[in-house]
Amino acid sequence: MSKVLLGMSGGVDSSVAAALLMRAGYEVIGATLVMHDIHEKDAAAAKTVADALGITHYTVDMRGDFEKYVLSPFVSEYENGRTPNPCVICNGYIKFPGLIRAADSLGCEYIATGHYAAIGNRDGHPVITAATDKAKDQSYFLYMLGKNILSRLLFPLSGMTKPEIRALAEELKLPSASSPDSQDICFIKDISCADFVAGRSKKPPVLGNFVDTDGKVLGKHKGISAYTVGQRKGLGVSSTSPLYVSHIDAESGNVILCRENELYRTKVYAENCSYFAGKLPKEPFEATVSLRYTKKPGRATVTALPDNRVLIEFTEPQRAPAPGQSAVFFDGDDLLGGGIIESSEI
């Protein structure tokens, strides 16, 4: 019987994943990675589920690594006028490597999570593919995972929809059957992202002006960390037509505002890129590219550049690429790779 270490949050998804793995004949061990004080309640909830299923459960304290690789860079990015995606970084640097290390120490051949994604094969390499439930698909957040992790990774929920998972949890009388869905940023609760950054920052806010694309001053803002490219709400600037954040100049402290039609870009540069087969292809390749989790992918040509960067040239202009967010490459349902948005051009 193969042993698998399952990352458990105490929620319905990882709970049903445990039950499905047990049905499939695996010896399941549960583990909750505590990356922030908020997650201590998750560990307690996961232990309750594990006890109900009759499996062993461990808690692994990852707070030091989480602070170093996720929280501190998260604040720093906002301080520098960028919009980070902490889930991507956490998955690539903390969650999955942490599960692999714990699995090795416990003699587990595989790791598993309750993510909505699947594992396939492409050109002889393991590759992440989209889940059946496209509305819940989380493959966008997983592009940093390398072959060493994908070769040992199981996604038990890949072929199920959320209603089916809820129904199975009810049938099995799991303690988590009615638990709410997790929120976007797990370590921020009951406050805004801007307030979280302000509360943790050791630097005074970078103040400056709202200016239009011609350099005309439109008013003062409350600090660059409170804004993101494409934002309209909360600007507090009166205008005859809606204004949006075009880009943020951390050096001058200015936040440049523009009209809706001026947000669109055809060229995007990304850095720190990952590719499912290891190295990026030397020749340009076609892909559909998502610039945010909620954005519909656009057709593009991706060209490798020096220093693990790429140029993404879209067939149709894309709205408001935000530095710090992830540009993620797909071919159909196959996740090819991705990188961190560095800049963009019209």
Residue 217's pLDDT band (boundaries 50, 70, 90)? very high
Assigned fold of 204-260: SH3 type barrels. (2.30.30)
Residue 190 has pLDDT above 90, yes or no: no
Phi, psi dihedrals of residue 235, rounded to the nearest 5°: -80, -35
CA 190, 196, 199, 202: dihedral to nearest 10 degrees?
170
Q: Pick the catalytic residue from 87, 90, 108, 273.
A: 90
What is the DSSP track for 308-319?
TEEEEEEEEEEE
Return the pLDDT at 143.
98
Average pLDDT over residues 74-90: 97
Give CA separation, 231 vs 212, 243, 307, 317, in Å.
Answer: 14, 9, 31, 18
DSSP state of 280: P
Tell me, yes or no, if 87 is annotated catalytic.
no
Tell me, yes or no, if 273 is annotated catalytic.
no
Biggest CA pair distance of the chain: 69
Q: Pick the catalytic residue from 87, 108, 186, 258.
A: 186
**Interval 12-23: pLDDT, tens:** 999 999 999 999
The answer to whether the CB of 31 falls within 8 A of the CB of 99 is yes
Residue 183 has pLDDT above 90, yes or no: no
The answer to whether the CB of 130 falls within 8 A of the CB of 137 is yes
**Interval 294-321: pLDDT, tens:** 888 999 999 999 999 999 999 999 999 9
Q: Where are the domains of the chain?
A: 3-171, 204-260, 264-345
Average pLDDT over residues 87-91: 97
Structure-token match 């072929």, residue found: 159
Burial of 303 (0-12, 13-18, 19+ CB in 10 A): middle
The superfamily in CATH containing domain 264-345 is: Translation factors (2.40.30.10)
pLDDT above 70 covers a percentage of the chain that reads 100
The superfamily in CATH containing domain 3-171 is: HUPs (3.40.50.620)
CB proximity list for 262: less than 8 A, separation 6 or greater: 213, 246
